[in-house]
Amino acid sequence: MCDTVVALGNTTKDGSILFAKNSDRQPNEPLLLIHEPKKTYPKHSTLRCTYIEIDQVEETHEIYMVKPSWMWGCEMGTNEHGLTIGNEAVFTKEKVNKVGLLGMDLVRLALERCTESEEAIHCITELLAKYGQGGNCGYEKPFTYHNSFLICDKTSAWILETAGNYWAAEKVKDIRAISNRLTIGENYDLAHPELISHAIEKGWHKKGEPFHFAKSYSDFLYTKLSGSFERASCAENILQTKKGEITADTMKEVLRSHHSEESIHIHAFSVKSICMHAGFIYGDQTTGSYIISLNENSPMVGWVTGSSATCISIFKPILFTENTNPFFREDDPSALHFWLIREKIHRLLMKAPEDIITNYNEERKEIEASINDLIHKNAIQTAWGLERGFVEKYLQLLEPYDNNPIKGNIYYKYYWNNQNKRLYNKHEKFFVNKTDVLV
């Protein structure tokens, strides 16, 4: 599950395009901050993606990506030209292939190979036609789906939605939110040449009637159970209310929103929340968040959490023009370490008293406000240092509660006790009680 939103320059306060995404995945799945430089390759070389091998191009662009630790592809990212892409799981009537390119592979491939949003659409759809999409996307349990994409550059944004090898694309006019559902209806700008005829052949569309992509190709039950309607509506309502004054803070508000009105959101699990908390038989956890501001006349600026549960995380700035960006190379174990340290805080907060959580959140807001002030001074390393100090402090303060029971109903406790056991067993050295090992 995921949510991705965009606001074009005609709706934002400073005229920039703002992109934001929460990556909702299985709770124990690390989501890493990775930077890969521009590279060249010999002619006729091949590339191993998550499951299959494909033809490699001779040159790839520099990219910054947020990616699941175990797969080749990424959930969201930006390249040196400002091309930015995020993907969503969607559930369709088309059969999911047992093997193929994952949606995350397609995101990374387009970022590595393209410079503009419409070019990325053609890249992804050509890859779909040649290799297909498919394969298990789950970390600890199988999960398969098709994909939609929100693609933007410094001047435009597009929605690309797929059902197997079939697809439709729509150019964004002002604001747009996508979630785990097909959203393109009768009005689209580009499409697979056999999109309508295939639907007629399958009996999903009646010839002669107005064609509606989402109605024809959506799997109703899985789409309904995903809670995607509520999440997308929530995001669009926030953006619509602030149209013309949308800022990065607006995007943070979107990514931190909850369906529940409970005061302590860390325990408020619901697939209807954009800031998703796991704890039910289906549904995922927000394992990382990403925002970027794109403008033709100024450098790109981004914000990333590098941690799960957006509502208890701190957004840290990225200036893509700096050589000291705190992203990691793909083979650097520090990338995993970074996420796991912050995940320990998440798991400890689930056991902490309410007053501790309240203090934590108040101080988190103060730190983030200080970080926002530092962005204007280009003091990126200082900003990240503030967050690191906050993390070190709360690892020590929360450690005494590690043996406390998780709060919540019986099912919720059972669910998270099992999650903790699996995570701790897999990454035992990161979850010992000595904070000097962790930081």
Any idea which residues carry the catalytic annotation?
Answer: 2
Mean predicted lDDT score pLDDT of the chain:
93
CATH fit for domain 2-329, picks 3.40.1390.20, 3.60.60.10, 3.90.1150.10, 3.10.20.30: 3.60.60.10
Backbone phi, psi, residue 309, to 5°: 55, 85
Which pair of tokens denotes residue 222? 């899985």
Which pair of tokens denotes residue 227? 């809670």
Distance of CA 106 to the CA centre of its chain: 14
pLDDT band of 264, cuts 50, 70, 90: low
CA distance linking residue 314 with residue 289, whole number of Å: 10
Half-sphere exposure of 14 (CA within 13 A, CB side): 14
Q: CB of 83 within 8 A of CB of 116?
A: yes
Q: Which pLDDT score is estimated for 439?
A: 38
Asked whether the predicted pLDDT for residue 97 surpasses 50, the reply is yes
Helix-then-strand count for the chain, H and E: 12, 18
pTM of the model: 0.95
Per-domain boundaries in the chain = 2-329
* SS3 label, residue 401: helix
pLDDT, one tens digit per residue, over 105-152 is 999 999 999 999 999 999 999 999 999 999 999 999 999 999 999 999
